[in-house]
């Protein structure tokens, strides 16, 4: 079973992913793969420096994610260029890992799953849903101000659209135990009705 896990920024995708992991699923986090690419993949780093300038490179060799984020979240064309560099490499990485251990159950956390039309690569899709007030509160705890948070939310497909497209939706406006119960119920459903 390979689950594509998505949701809006600040909705708790990573928390949900960890709860799937507790139930025996192997986790692949697309954002973590991106961070690894930006830190150490020389071909990716070279292409980003060519597109965005040498000041994007940190002294230790990786890419300055904060400086890059400041550019791409205020310039749609720059964001598209960055995604054209990162997304194919990210997809190759998680697909290679899943294929290498195809007998395992996987949950792949992909924020832009529907935006990039990747849903057909999964056995089923799950959207983590939260109201905007909770999103903004969580993003504030991560150091983003309201304006930055709203700009990033606006760059994604509206959350209600993601929820409608997903095979299953998890509501993450309550406690972690409430989310855990939903995920346990879903995993039980999958185990009792395999594809």
Q: What was the pLDDT predicted at 148?
A: 85
Measure the CA–CA gap between 181 and 160, rounded to whole angstroms. 22
Query: Measuring CA to CA, which residue among 52, 54, 91 is closest to residue 75?
Result: 52
Total count of residues recorded for the chain? 195
Residue 111 domain-assigned (yes or no): yes
Could you read off the pLDDT of 33-46 as tens digits, one per residue?
999 999 999 999 99
Query: Measuring CA to CA, which residue among 118, 154, 121 is closest to residue 8?
Result: 154
Position 59 confidence tier, pLDDT thresholds 50, 70, 90 = confident
Domain that holds residue 80: 34-102
Could you read off the pLDDT of 112-135 as tens digits, one per residue?
899 899 999 999 999 999 999 999
Q: What was the pLDDT predicted at 134?
A: 93
Residue 117 and residue 179 in one domain: yes
- Report, as an integer, the average pLDDT of 156-185: 95
Position 151 confidence tier, pLDDT thresholds 50, 70, 90 = confident
Residue 133 and residue 164 in one domain: yes
How many helices (H) and strands (E) would you count in the chain?
Answer: 9, 5
Could you read off the pLDDT of 9-57 as tens digits, one per residue?
999 999 999 999 999 999 999 999 999 999 999 999 999 999 999 999 9
Regarding pTM above 0.75, the answer is yes
Residue 150 and residue 83 in one domain: no
Q: CA 56 from chain center: how many Å?
A: 23
Position 193 confidence tier, pLDDT thresholds 50, 70, 90 = confident
Count of domains observed in the chain = 2
Could you read off the pLDDT of 64-106 as tens digits, one per residue?
998 998 898 888 899 999 999 999 999 999 999 999 999 999 9
- What's the whole-number average pLDDT of the chain? 93
Query: Measuring CA to CA, which residue among 82, 89, 80 is closest to residue 68?
Result: 82
Residue 167 domain-assigned (yes or no): yes
Position 195 confidence tier, pLDDT thresholds 50, 70, 90 = low
Residue 177 and residue 112 in one domain: yes
Last residue of a domain, one of 78, 102, 126: 102
């Amino acid at each position: 079973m390979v689950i594509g896990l998505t949701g809006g920024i600040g909705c708790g995708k990573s928390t949900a992913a960890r709860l799937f992991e507790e139930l025996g699923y192997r986790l692949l986090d697309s954002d973590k793969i991106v961070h690894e690419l930006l830190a150490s993949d020389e071909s990716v780093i070279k292409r980003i420096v060519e597109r965005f300038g040498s000041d994007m490179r940190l002294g230790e060799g990786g890419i300055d994610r904060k400086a890059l984020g400041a550019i791409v979240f205020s310039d749609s064309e720059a964001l598209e260029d960055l995604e054209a560099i990162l997304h194919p490499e990210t997809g190759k990485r998680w697909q290679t890992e899943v294929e290498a251990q195809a007998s395992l159950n996987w949950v792949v956390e992909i924020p832009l799953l529907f935006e990039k039309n990747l849903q057909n690569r999964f056995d089923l899709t799950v959207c983590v849903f939260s109201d905007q007030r909770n999103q903004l509160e969580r993003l504030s705890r991560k150091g983003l101000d309201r304006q930055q948070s709203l700009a990033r939310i606006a760059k994604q497909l509206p959350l209600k659209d993601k929820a409608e497209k997903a095979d299953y939706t998890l509501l993450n406006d309550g406690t972690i135990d409430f989310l855990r119960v939903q995920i346990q119920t879903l995993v039980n459903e999958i185990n009792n009705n395999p594809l």
